[in-house]
Amino acid sequence: GENVEQHPSTLSVQEGDSAVIKCTYSDSASNYFPWYKQELGKRPQLIIDIRSNVGEKKDQRIAVTLNKTAKHFSLHITETQPEDSAVYFCAASTRGNFNKFYFGSGTKLNVKP
Amino acid sequence: KAGVTQTPRYLIKTRGQQVTLSCSPISGHRSVSWYQQTPGQGLQFLFEYFSETQRNKGNFPGRFSGRQFSNSRSEMNVSTLELGDSALYLCASRSGTALSYEQYFGPGTRLTVT
């Protein structure tokens, strides 16, 4: 089955700096890669996703890049703010109706004001 | 649209008991997945239901079971509870169509086994 590895496990940045979280996956059949943000005591929320036919996707201060050849994808957050502090999870899923999501172990991002 | 809802939000049980958790997906969504979240193991996939049929199953013992009703609501049951079953149980819904991949989570049920 699929194996998703996520790094780093913790990340501390100064407000205004950029943050990058990286994930690798093992199954070349995976074609959908979402990122979730989970604040303390809350549900994971989908913040951005990318499909395998796209190399990069942006939404305001966040972006995701995908390298299918190397089987890795990354989350980029620019101009970080204290409210970006949370745990971020990456995931990989294979095509079709019968999706099974494999999650990374999470990155705890701390943005210092 | 209303989001994914789960009941109850908190539950305390003792070892050996059984528990049933409920999940109502987003209206129109036909796929419901269940996950166990613990500090040490992260998000672990339990199973997925689509149109009342279990389509995928994770690596959990048979004590963990589920079902889905015709209105897409889903229940998860854990029998003979163990201390290690203490976790946040999250359900997530998807539309279930081949073109729609997005998955949305409910608030979770926090289960504590004593």
For the stretch A96-105, pLDDT in tens is 545 678 999 9
For the stretch B61-96, pLDDT in tens is 999 999 999 999 999 999 999 999 999 999 999 987
Give chain B positions within 8 Å (CB) of A34: 101-103
Q: Is the CB of A43 less than 8 angstroms away from the CB of B55?
A: no
- Decide if B60 touches A, using CB distance below 8 A: no
CA-based nearest distance B14→chain A, Å: 23
The pLDDT > 70 percentage for chain B reads: 97
CA distance A46 to B16: 36
CA distance A111 to A86: 9
* More confident: A18 or B42: A18
Choose the closest CB to A98 out of B45, B55, B103: B55
The pLDDT > 70 percentage for chain A reads: 96
CA-based nearest distance A42→chain B, Å: 6
- Decide if A46 touches B, using CB distance below 8 A: yes
- Decide if B40 touches A, using CB distance below 8 A: no
For residue A82, cis peptide bond before it (omega within 30 degrees of 0): no
Average pLDDT, chain A: 92
> Residues with Cβ < 8 Å from A28, sequence gap 6 or more?
A68, A71
The confidence band for B100, taking pLDDT boundaries of 50, 70 and 90, is confident
Average pLDDT, chain B: 93
For the stretch A60-92, pLDDT in tens is 999 999 999 999 999 999 999 999 999 999 999
Give chain A positions within 8 Å (CB) of B107: 42-43
